[in-house]
A and B are shown apart, each in its own frame.
Chain A
């Protein structure tokens, strides 16, 4: 199947190095300490942060830092066919772990010992790149909650189909069976905190694709910095 036409257009009309449209809004869940809704193209996720608050399970208290918990779940109607088991399945558990560890890397947990920070992410519409959208939404929600962080984390995915590196894959491109590289960076410190890839790829092309994903992450950072509602 052709994912990049001879004129250089993808299935949804984008160019290979073009990201989908990004839209975000913070403070949408009134009850949460911090919340954000983020859209990357048709992928729409909502993240809510509760904390720092008292640890609910006494046996899990850490004396010198905060406990970070994360739960990722998809709405039943988020994908094309209705999902039977939106959470507790292996994929959701894995993504919950990935998001938790990514965010833990940037939160200054030692400033809030013996407390708990909960990050909940709910996918309302899934069209590829849900992992990245969730991390971006979680970053905004943490910032909205005023939780001290070393730096923000932004994430983006990239792939390689029809011998072309493609930025920000949607669902069809993702399920094409080509490689999918997801990267999460801390922009100011210029460090990579999350890197995942599946499928085979020669090393030099991989460097290319990873570089492209990092450019995508930087584009997300620019969006966050430029949008006036996020400036304090």
Chain B
């Protein structure tokens, strides 16, 4: 780690790790001057991202997404329910985000992390408004039965960029989702069909099918600090420089959502546009990674 040797500066007398803990902002700024970050990434590069589909065998669709050390496990379970009066032809999606105490030293049992409900709401809004899933596809019998998809996302390791990783895991889980086969039994209730040969009843949907996904949303979180824009922050960077901007674009590069929840740095439009440009690049990378993961599964 080459710290510039400024005379009269405390940095020459203190060890690197101590300096990092005592003066975190100055530690980072020394790196930013050289256009690099402590983990040797250039300012505009995101961490290594991987997706593994089918991580949870007992769920209808699941995925494990990792961005750097941040790990998210998403699983979807489908249940049959009666649709509401106003929308008899539509199913429903319930999205829940959990941060169990294993993910981070600052999460205490009995007191949920501050970030958890915020990310949960953001995810819910983004996924439902992006039009990725057409709720009419989740209908079974109009007015009587429809699918309720419960999407649960667990953070297994929280190292910054929680929303990005959670959205990626959610999207991957939906692309892995297979809707189970059901049929009507004699009481007029929907039951899961076990095997094709056994049931004399007519199945309501013919075969296990995948959900048709519309435009898929991908996101990138950037941190603004003075004139610098750092993409894909780690937890340490997020705690020191608090102003973050999250941009969500879909696969056709349309803006789905923009989120800048206050923060000390006031951004000019040009900074926001830079963030959007960085997101556009990131969307291409993520699309490629997702497609590789899906085609990897299909080979099996």
Which A residues form the contact surface with B (CB < 8 A)?
Answer: 28-32, 35, 42, 46-48, 50, 53, 56, 69, 71, 73, 75-80, 82, 118, 120-122, 124-125, 127
Contact A35 B152 (CB under 8 A): no
Which B residues form the contact surface with A (CB < 8 A)?
Answer: 56-59, 62, 69, 71, 73, 75-77, 79, 96, 98, 100-105, 108-109, 150, 152, 154, 156-159, 235
Chain A neighbourhood of B76, CB < 8 A: 77
- B193 to chain A minimum Cβ distance, whole angstroms, is 16
- A163 to chain B minimum Cβ distance, whole angstroms, is 30
Contact B152 A31 (CB under 8 A): no
**Closest partner residue, chain B, to A77 (CB atom):** B75
**Closest partner residue, chain B, to A32 (CB atom):** B102
Contact B150 A31 (CB under 8 A): no
Complexed CA–CA distance, A78 and B62 (Å): 12
Contact A75 B75 (CB under 8 A): yes
Indicate which residue in B58, B105, B152 contacts A80 across the interface (CB closer than 8 Å).
B58
Complexed CA–CA distance, A82 and B98 (Å): 15
Contact A31 B105 (CB under 8 A): yes
Contact B57 A31 (CB under 8 A): no
- 9 A-B pairs within 8 Å (CB atoms) are namely A28-B156, A29-B157, A31-B69, A53-B105, A56-B108, A76-B77, A77-B56, A80-B58, A125-B58
Contact B103 A125 (CB under 8 A): no
Contact B102 A78 (CB under 8 A): no
Indicate which residue in A50, A77, A118 contacts B59 across the interface (CB closer than 8 Å).
A77
Contact B154 A122 (CB under 8 A): yes
**Closest partner residue, chain B, to A73 (CB atom):** B100
Contact A118 B69 (CB under 8 A): no
Complexed CA–CA distance, A125 and B154 (Å): 13
Complexed CA–CA distance, A121 and B102 (Å): 7
Contact B109 A69 (CB under 8 A): yes
Chain A neighbourhood of B98, CB < 8 A: 75-76
Contact A77 B101 (CB under 8 A): no
Complexed CA–CA distance, A82 and B149 (Å): 11
Chain B neighbourhood of A120, CB < 8 A: 100-102, 109
- B294 to chain A minimum Cβ distance, whole angstroms, is 21
Chain B neighbourhood of A127, CB < 8 A: 58
- A77 to chain B minimum Cβ distance, whole angstroms, is 4
**Closest partner residue, chain B, to A44 (CB atom):** B56
Given A30-B157, A76-B150: A82 touches B57 (CB 8 Å cut-off): no
Chain B neighbourhood of A82, CB < 8 A: 77, 79, 150, 152
Indicate which residue in B56, B58, B103 contacts A29 across the interface (CB closer than 8 Å).
B103
Complexed CA–CA distance, A54 and B235 (Å): 21
Given A118-B101, A120-B102: A31 touches B56 (CB 8 Å cut-off): no
